[in-house]
Amino acid sequence: MEKSRPDIRVHLALLFVQFSFGGFSVFGKYVLGHVHPLALAGMRVLFAGPLLMLLALRFDRVRPKGKDFLSLAMLGFFGVFVNQLLFIIGLNYTTATNASILMPSIPVFTVAVAMAMGIERITWGRSLGIGLAVAGALIMLQVTQFSLSENTALGNLLILINTLSYSLFLVLARPVLLRIPPLTVIAWTFVFGGSGIALISAYQLTQVPYAELPPLAWTGIVYVVLFPTLINYVLNTWAIKRSSSTLVATYTTLQPVVATALAVMLLGEQFGMREVAGFVLIIAGLLWITFRAPAKPKREDAQRH
């Protein structure tokens, strides 16, 4: 049964995820100037996959049952294979600004998928909180800066499909996590989804001029594979089990706050009334979702506990 007020550790974990993922578009865009998108995708899964499996075997010591492997394969397809490939390739064909503006579609898609599949009950009150957060994110991101040129059209489409795929992962992961520990779920998710990425990216990985990469490119690679990949996947999966897919998805609206904070600290940009208004709406939406009591769970959900 979903708690009305998730553990404070859930919120701290999700805050960390958004702060660390907020720099992905910037670091990723720089790395893609030196490394092919498929090579970067391959680096992510080849580093994170084996380590996650070792951690799962060490701490969970749980082997999924035969019927669970299909669910884990679906999570791997949507959450790793499609999600990571389309984001990396899409970012290569669009701007970091466009990618950031499209990210708030994740909670919208998540609500739609959760309602359509009947996995979570979405009340009008919760929908209002999500709407406030999405509106705040779009205000901070200045939607008028979104580029619809032919040069960015393909990248925009790929990023949008990426957000839908990630939303499917968030929703589908919830029932699986009622049966299997989070670390084991994400480890097997990387086994299935990461295997496909490793196969597709094999050639590009051999073409990377590793010895010629500048130090900043290596810093970006380490950042991408450690934070947005290894740590964030584990924390997000852990948070889904202890809250809901919609709360996890809504937290993605904080990424514009991170981007704005970085711009203020590193680039000397000003934090004006538009940013304040957006920030207030995002926080209001998150607080509304967090402290508003959820609808009663479905009978079959209640019987699982």
Q: DSSP string covering 143-187, please? A: GGG---SHHHHHHHHHHHHHHHHHHHHHHHHHHHHTTS-HHHHHH
The first and second tokens of residue 175, run together, are 């029932």
Say which residues have a Cβ less than 8 Å from residue 34's Cβ, sequence separation at least 6. 213, 214, 217
Place of tokens 């391959």: 42
Q: What is the pTM of this model?
A: 0.84
| Separation of CA 107 from chain center | 11
Which whole number is the average pLDDT over 264-276? 67
Residue 104's pLDDT is what? 86
Q: Where are the beta strands (DSSP E) in the chain?
A: none
Percentage of the residues of the chain whose pLDDT score is greater than 70: 89
Residue 1's pLDDT is what? 41
Domain residue limits, the chain? 8-293
**Mean residue pLDDT across the chain:** 85
Q: What is the amino acid identity at position 96?
A: A
Cβ burial of 175 (10 Å; 0-12, 13-18, 19+) is middle
Answer yes or no: is pLDDT of 15 > 70: yes
Please, which pLDDT band fits residue 171 given cuts at 50, 70 and 90?
very high
Which whole number is the average pLDDT over 205-218? 95
Say which residues have a Cβ less than 8 Å from residue 62's Cβ, sequence separation at least 6. 56, 180, 181, 184
The winner for highest mean pLDDT among 56-65, 68-77, 252-261 is: 68-77
